[in-house]
Structure 1
Amino acid sequence: MTVSIRPFDPSKDSGLIHPWVTHPKASYWMMQGASLQDVEREYTAITAHPHHHAFIGLVDGVPSFLMESYDPTELELVGLYDPLPGDVGMHFLVAPTDTPVHGFTRTVITAVMAELFADPATARVVVEPDVANKAVHALNEAVGFVAEREIQKPEKKALLSFCTRADFEAAVAVAA
């Protein structure tokens, strides 16, 4: 599988991801009832924000996942943990499918992490998935994340987890 990642274009990509973010399997994305206009408005704001970025991931040339990165000292986790220099927050969502491919989501999260660590300024990736999202906890652990503690965000109880560059490289080496 060949994975590439490109910047999100709200006018072009909102229609693409609308069925992804509103799909029942994307319940943790918290956009179940969102209209296409809601999605476009949200991603227009994200792409305009200086500390929040959105991307479309392609697998073998087909749009297959959504990726976001953010500065946790500016949004999402402000006041909820002690950030370190080089921390980058991350979200990702794989497009729903009726024909799952074994290992696909792991390939996606590995590519997302590699993209984030491709920036030498990134020292550690921070995630805050819903505590109930056991599937993503297992994926996070597989690429080197270490859960620290539960935190209460306004919209959810989250599992604050961290992955250093060394932890990611060790996890990828073990999987290879």
Structure 2
Amino acid sequence: MPTITQNLPATFAVEAYGKAFGLRAVKYPEDMPMLYKWMHAEHVVDQWQLHLPMPQLRVHFEKMLADDHQRLYIILCEGVPIGYTEIYETARDRLSYYYKAKDTDMGWHILLGDPAVVGKGYLKPTGMMISKFIFEHTDAKKIVVEPDSKVEVYKWVADGFAYHVQRLIDMPEKKASLYFCHRDEFFESRGYLNFYGAVAS
């Protein structure tokens, strides 16, 4: 029987801020040169710690793609790849060691790989697109994320979109801020209502 993430569509698209944002499933091995470049970008290295030689990075992504509790996507803006996201089932993820996960809870990680979009306001529309995608295509009542507590930008992104910090958690590689986002609050938030003028396709 297919898992929650295996049932997710391979593509998704929305209009926000006058731009077309989208997701497409990672293509292996075609996307590896781009992912290698992103993982070695200066702004990515400390957070992701995947600045590996290509053979080791390919092994990493082969394992990730074979893991049926998650699905990997490339983030697009106007059809151009700008980042990468992992969407996963938290009850089957290591995050379940840090809070009591329900079977329907979902989570995501995000990487804006293209240096040209970093610090230019793209984190908010892409994070919101991923949240919309999850809630519209799963039975999740809650999304859980755990960014590094040192990354202040996440607090700004969460404000107004019903992502509420619960507590700090000590993970092996970071002290993380544990955020919950509940379905009803998300769709009723002023951020969501002001944000999307188009229907996802």
Q: TM-score, normalised by structure 2?
A: 0.79
Q: What is the aligned partner in structure 1 of residue 14 from structure 2? A: none
Letter in 1 for 2:54: L
Which of 143, 151, 162 lines up with 2:169 in the alignment?
A: 151
Whether contact under 8 Å (2:25, 2:74) holds in the other structure is yes
**Relative to structure 2, which stretch is displaced further, 133-142 or 54-63?**
133-142
Whether contact under 8 Å (1:88, 1:124) holds in the other structure is yes
Whether 2:66 is the aligned partner of 1:45: answer no
> 1:29-82 deviations in whole A, cap 9, x for unaligned?
222x31222322212111110102111121111111101111111122122101
Q: What is the aligned partner in structure 2 of residue 172 from structure 1? A: 192
Cα distance between partner residues in 1 of 2:87 and 2:109? 7
Q: 1:29 to 1:143 in 2, by over 3 A?
A: farther
Dislocated runs of 4+, deviation >6 Å? none
Whether contact under 8 Å (1:70, 1:90) holds in the other structure is yes
> 1:119-173 deviations in whole A, cap 9, x for unaligned?
1412111101111111123213343210000111122111111111122221311
Cα distance between partner residues in 2 of 1:142 and 1:10? 36
Cα distance between partner residues in 2 of 1:107 and 1:44? 28
| Total equivalences in the alignment | 175
Q: Shift of residue 101 of structure 1?
A: 7.6
Q: 1:98 to 1:62 in 2, by over 3 A?
A: closer
Q: What is the aligned partner in structure 2 of residue 83 from structure 1? A: 101
- In the alignment, structure 2 segments of 5+ residues that lack a partner are 1-18, 197-201
Q: What is the aligned partner in structure 2 of residue 131 from structure 1? A: 149
Whether contact under 8 Å (1:85, 1:123) holds in the other structure is no
Between the two proteins, what is the percent identity of the paired residues? 22
Q: Shift of residue 7 of structure 1?
A: 1.0
Cα distance between partner residues in 2 of 1:60 and 1:127? 26
| Equivalent position SS for 2:144 | strand
| Equivalent position SS for 1:118 | helix
What are the within-5 Å matches in structure 2 for residues 83-102 of structure 1? 83-98=101-116, 102=120
Q: 1:142 to 1:68 in 2, by over 3 A?
A: farther
Which of 28, 35, 40 lines up with 2:47 in the alignment?
A: 28
Q: 1:38 to 1:127 in 2, by over 3 A?
A: same
Letter in 2 for 1:94: L
Whether 2:125 is the aligned partner of 1:107: answer yes
Q: What is the aligned partner in structure 1 of residue 12 from structure 2? A: none
What is the alpha-carbon root mean square deviation over aligned residues?
1.9
Q: 1:145 to 1:102 in 2, by over 3 A?
A: same
Q: What is the aligned partner in structure 1 of residue 11 from structure 2? A: none
Q: 1:5 to 1:175 in 2, by over 3 A?
A: closer
